[in-house]
């Protein structure tokens, strides 16, 4: 049986979204990889499946392009939030994820805000293999030119992130350093690897190597993690615009400790899975 899908993106971070509230859809890892393949499949960074939920508008599950299911995806949640609000004619929806319940709300024309919840900052919550100061990990690496990348920070936004602060993010060989850091033994669940350049107290340039997906045009949870890490070090205020390859996100780490992500959602096309 063929299965309808929507191709969506948030700042170029792209998704195949499958509606499964009326008929279950449980893809295998091989099927996820086939769908995500940009040469022989539809092509995407993540596969998203919308399932029924009790007490919420929907349950949402995420798979990276490598076939591994993950707990959270910020840009994907924003896209699904827009879809649920549009189809249900609502201004706010509740979404269940493996990282917890998230709330999405309208923020303008095609703009969606998602309450991503509180950042997890304890080493056990990231998780790390051994106890570390997550504000400054005892992890020292050099870039392709032999220059010290400095001690990174670690933050979980429902998925593990490590953030390096660099003077020029575009000068870093992310395709070389990203996959190496992703798989370091200190990260038992692997890690998303962000490279952040602080341009002002309210502006950060960011690129992210996503575990299981590679270098993407945007990473919502990565943007949240970078803002939290920068604010903890006093490098920025608690709210800032994040410049990603695909566009801009506004991140606000509120006084109640919740991180709010605001950005666009777009539908590219509809189709059917073979």
The residues that are catalytic are: 73, 219
Cβ 166 vs Cβ 172: under 8 Å = yes
**What is the distance between the alpha carbons of residues 236 and 228, in angstroms, rounded to a whole number?**
9
**What is the distance between the alpha carbons of residues 210 and 214, in angstroms, rounded to a whole number?**
5
Long-range CB pairs of 130-137, under 8 A, 24+ apart, other chains included = 130/186, 132/186, 135/229, 135/232, 135/233, 137/162, 137/186
**What is the distance between the alpha carbons of residues 159 and 220, in angstroms, rounded to a whole number?**
11
Cis amide prior to 182 (ω within 30 degrees): no
Pairing of strands 46-51, 13-19: parallel
* Cα separations in angstroms, 202 against 108, 121, 126, 138: 21, 22, 25, 27
Cβ 251 vs Cβ 260: under 8 Å = yes
Specify which residues 210 forms β-bridges with.
214
Q: Which residue has the tokens 């920068």?
A: 230
b/e per residue 90-108 (b: at least 16 CB within 10 A): eeebbbbbebeebbbbbbe
């Amino acid at each position: 049986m063929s299965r309808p899908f929507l191709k969506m993106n948030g700042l170029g971070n792209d998704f195949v979204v499958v509606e499964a509230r009326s008929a279950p859809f449980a893809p295998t890892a091989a099927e996820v990889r086939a769908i995500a393949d940009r040469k022989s499949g539809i092509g995407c960074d993540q596969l998203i499946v919308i399932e029924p939920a009790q007490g919420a508008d929907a349950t949402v599950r995420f798979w990276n392009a490598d076939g591994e299911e993950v707990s959270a995806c910020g840009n994907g949640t924003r896209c699904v939030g827009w879809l649920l609000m549009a189809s249900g004619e609502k201004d706010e929806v509740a979404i269940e994820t493996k990282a917890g319940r998230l709330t999405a709300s309208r923020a303008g024309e095609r703009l969606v805000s998602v309450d991503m919840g509180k950042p997890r900052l304890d080493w056990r919550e990231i998780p790390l293999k051994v106890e570390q100061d997550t504000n400054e990990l005892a992890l020292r690496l050099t870039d392709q030119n032999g220059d010290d990348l400095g001690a990174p920070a670690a933050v979980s936004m429902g998925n593990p992130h490590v953030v390096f602060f660099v003077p020029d993010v575009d000068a870093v060989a992310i395709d070389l350093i990203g996959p190496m850091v992703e798989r370091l033994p200190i990260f038992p669940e692997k890690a998303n690897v962000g490279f952040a350049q602080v341009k002002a107290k309210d502006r950060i340039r960011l690129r992210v190597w996503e575990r299981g997906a590679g270098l993407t045009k945007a990473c919502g949870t990565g943007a949240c993690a970078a803002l939290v890490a920068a604010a903890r070090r006093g490098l920025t205020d608690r709210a800032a615009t994040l410049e990603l390859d695909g566009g801009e996100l506004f991140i606000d780490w509120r006084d109640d400790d919740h991180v709010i992500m605001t950005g666009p959602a777009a539908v590219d096309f509809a189709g059917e899975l073979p």
